[in-house]
Structure 1
Amino acid sequence: MRMILKVQHAAQDMECENEDNNKVKNNEQACCPICQEEMPFDILEVHASECGESPVDNDVNNTAEFSIMDNDVNNTAEFSIMDNDWKTHLDPKIAAFLYRKEILRLHETGKPLFMCMDIRSSPEEQDRQLINFYKQRNVEWACPVKCQLQGDVAVGDGVSRHFFSTVVEKLKYGFSLNLGNTGVTCLFEGEPDHLVPSSSQLLIESDLFVVAGRMLGHSFLHGGPCLAGLSRAFVHVLLQGSQDTATLQLEDCPDVDIRETINLLRGQSPLNEDEYSKVLELCLSWDLPGPTDENRRWLYERLLSHAVIGRRTRQIKQIKRGLKDTFVWPLLTERTDVVFFPKESEDLCTSEMLLSHISWATESDNEDDEYSADTKERITGYLRQFIETASAKDLKDLLKFWVRWDRMEANMAVEVVKSDLPKSSTCFCVLRLPGHYNDFQSFTNDLTICIGTCKFGFGHV
């Protein structure tokens, strides 16, 4: 896979700049785009420059990567007049939409980020270049993004959806990179709804959790999928919550051996010699006292807290950096009711949800229709039956085949056409089904084969 990133800054149109400046003059107070503090506009520009140059985390980096001083793309005056309806809207979903829309509007005149992916290259090469793309410094991630797939004729919004779907899928299930003598490199590990960042020092030293934060923020800005299934305790601390108030569960510890050792401290049963040795060894390795009858409960909580959160403080700081680079952080800190990291149950696609978003093929007076109303009714009936009986995985694969990511779009249409196999027009969210099927089984077999190819490109059966 080849990726080309072109980030250039162009001067704002003089007429738009004058219009924005006139608007700002009418406001006595303005809002800093980084720290979100209100202050007189006449000192905002100086403050924003210093704020943009200050460290995001003092012990992580000595420089920030917001590029606020570059007035060619990020005019400070534009940020000061940012629509703040997202702060007050009662519906958190609409608030997130308004914030995303406004951030993209402020950067719509910037030079787009151009991603060129060769899907004929090896998975390892694709993932390596994908990570390199998000390792770029001083990038305005809110600028328009344009994606192209080499080795595939597909163009348009469907390609962009494929790109963001791939990004989040790699974060959740791992990259095809051999780091640390593993076939797959996972940035997050653990059980569903208990995922936490890997404790691998190699990943931390490589700043791969900064990459993860940028990927998540970038996908969010463009309406893409979120990373579902993170530990609630980890999310609580990541979003500025106190480690002491995090509600930890034993399942949040991804290391099974450590989890079993910590679990020995639950209850009141006396520890035998072997159990005591295991607990003591773990305590000493983390600079904690050995177990006694008096400190047993306290020690259990301390060990679990360190296993889940304490070993991941640097990962938390890096993910924050990545989210701040994509301008998502103000939303997460101001609107704590916005669900940025959903649970697995909140990210499901059910048959009822999918059926409610579909615009079904209907009878038409158009003489050029390829099939009769009866044929359309039979084929769409097969599709409805398939959706009602499909597994959660098959439903998500169908969505990816249909629109190129597993998030439902508003107007998902179905057409019955003359074709050998099911196809889709992902930019327009149209699923095109052949009208030659006369039984549900043959329809299901072909559709299952087609949707199973979605991660390899567009209809490569």
Structure 2
Amino acid sequence: MEALQTGFFLEEGKSKLLLFEGKDDHLTPTCRLDLTESGLFIIAGRMMGHSFLHGGPSFTGLSPAIIHVILGRDPKMAPISVDDCVDWDVREVLELLEGTDNFTEDERERVNNICLYWDLPTVDRENRQWLTEKILLHAVLGRTEKQVEQLQRGLRDSGVYDLLSARPDTAAILFPRTSEREITPQMILDHITWPANVAYGVSRLDQDRILGFFRRFIENGTPDVLKSLLRFWTGWEVLSGHLKVEVIVCDLPMSATCFYRLKLPAYVQEFEEFTNVLKAVCETSSSGFGQV
């Protein structure tokens, strides 16, 4: 799901492949014919559906217009905004059309080139607003029609689409806003079950010191650091009701992701060393646990 959200590498040394692009809360499927023909958006829909069914991470930041169409609603009634358009050339044309000034010859040519390419009439005084709506609708929904159909198919394959159809309000859970994905220090602290007993070979003084370091690490953590911690701790960026932590005799922090259990080494004496060690192992969650 992280790769689906942020892109993934098909070949080493190449740039990331994005299935979705645009601003946060205005993400739309990438308009690439090869991705559609390969059926990657079907796979993306299955991934979203199965992650939802298993309590995993949701896909965040999808455009409300795309969600509207995924739910099977009329595209003409979709809540589209200019922010949903990822093509800067088209956005500039839309800004020209929405303005009140007369066009220069160059501006009129740019607008008419888009209109003719998309089988629309050329611009005049009477059709500026109509053209704005038509161009925006095609740029956001017309060009992503096949991608959305594949997402629907993937969601249907996972068994989630029937739920979405019967309960459209569940779309807010399956496709939350970006702000709902943010993780704060207090959110993590509220979910932690602190150890009641001291592990074998560890003194109470050592345990209190390490747990103090850990609390301080969380309280000072940036959203990215906290997400990395959660991925190492639980396997994904989803808060569990019972995050467990232990202080034991070990060389490096370890995690039992299935049990949401984090094990911290008792030997560390300084907070800076604790921070460096914990950050180092957390960064291994994307390449393989423990590969520092």
Q: Equivalents in 2 of 1:340, 1:427: separation in Å?
A: 22
User: Counterpart of 1:359 in structure 2: which amino acid?
Assistant: T
Q: CA deviation at 1:175?
A: 2.8
Cross-structure match for 2:243: 412
Q: Equivalents in 1 of 2:115, 2:237: separation in Å?
A: 43
Cross-structure match for 1:113: none
Q: Equivalents in 1 of 2:50, 2:196: separation in Å?
A: 38
Residues 228, 343 of structure 1: 8 Å contact kept: yes
Q: Give the % identical residues.
A: 45
Q: Equivalents in 2 of 1:432, 1:393: separation in Å?
A: 21
Residues 361, 380 of structure 1: 8 Å contact kept: no
Q: Equivalents in 1 of 2:29, 2:224: separation in Å?
A: 24
Deviations 1:65-89 (A, max 9, x none): xxxxxxxxxxxxxxxxxxxxxxxxx
Deviations 1:396-417 (A, max 9, x none): 1100100111111222111111
Larger relative helix fraction: 2
Q: Equivalents in 2 of 1:390, 1:296: separation in Å?
A: 50
1:40-119 alignment to 2 at 5 Å? none
Q: CA deviation at 1:234?
A: 1.0
> Is the counterpart of residue 329 in structure 1 residue 151 in structure 2?
no
Q: Equivalents in 1 of 2:215, 2:132: separation in Å?
A: 51
Residues 362, 373 of structure 1: 8 Å contact kept: no
Cross-structure match for 1:165: none
Q: Equivalents in 2 of 1:284, 1:206: separation in Å?
A: 29
Q: CA deviation at 1:448?
A: 0.9
Q: Mind listing any 5+ residue stretches in structure 1 that lack a counterpart?
A: 1-167
Deviations 1:307-354 (A, max 9, x none): 000111111111111111111111101111112111111122111111
Cross-structure match for 2:189: 355
Cross-structure match for 2:152: 320
Cross-structure match for 2:118: 286
Cross-structure match for 1:171: 4
Q: Equivalents in 1 of 2:272, 2:195: separation in Å?
A: 21
Q: CA deviation at 1:383?
A: 1.1
Cross-structure match for 1:252: 84
Q: Mind listing any 5+ residue stretches in structure 2 that lack a counterpart?
A: none
Residues 190, 196 of structure 1: 8 Å contact kept: yes
Q: CA deviation at 1:363?
A: 4.3
Cross-structure match for 1:380: 211
Residues 281, 289 of structure 2: 8 Å contact kept: no
**Aligned match for 2:67, one of 209, 213, 235:** 235
Q: CA deviation at 1:371?
A: 2.2
Q: CA deviation at 1:213?
A: 1.1
Deviations 1:2-51 (A, max 9, x none): xxxxxxxxxxxxxxxxxxxxxxxxxxxxxxxxxxxxxxxxxxxxxxxxxx
Deviations 1:243-287 (A, max 9, x none): 122111111111222222222212212221111111110011111
Cross-structure match for 1:443: 274
Q: Equivalents in 2 of 1:328, 1:243: separation in Å?
A: 21
Deviating 4+ runs (over 3 angstroms)? none
Cross-structure match for 2:231: 400
Cross-structure match for 1:265: 97
User: Counterpart of 1:185 in structure 2: which amino acid?
Assistant: L
User: Counterpart of 1:200 in structure 2: which amino acid?
Assistant: R
- What SS does structure 2 have at the residue aligned with 1:458? coil
Q: Equivalents in 1 of 2:130, 2:89: separation in Å?
A: 20
Q: Equivalents in 1 of 2:121, 2:241: separation in Å?
A: 57
**Aligned match for 1:345, one of 156, 174, 179:** 179
Q: CA deviation at 1:369?
A: 3.0
- What SS does structure 1 have at the residue aligned with 2:143? helix
Q: Equivalents in 1 of 2:7, 2:131: separation in Å?
A: 33
Cross-structure match for 1:89: none
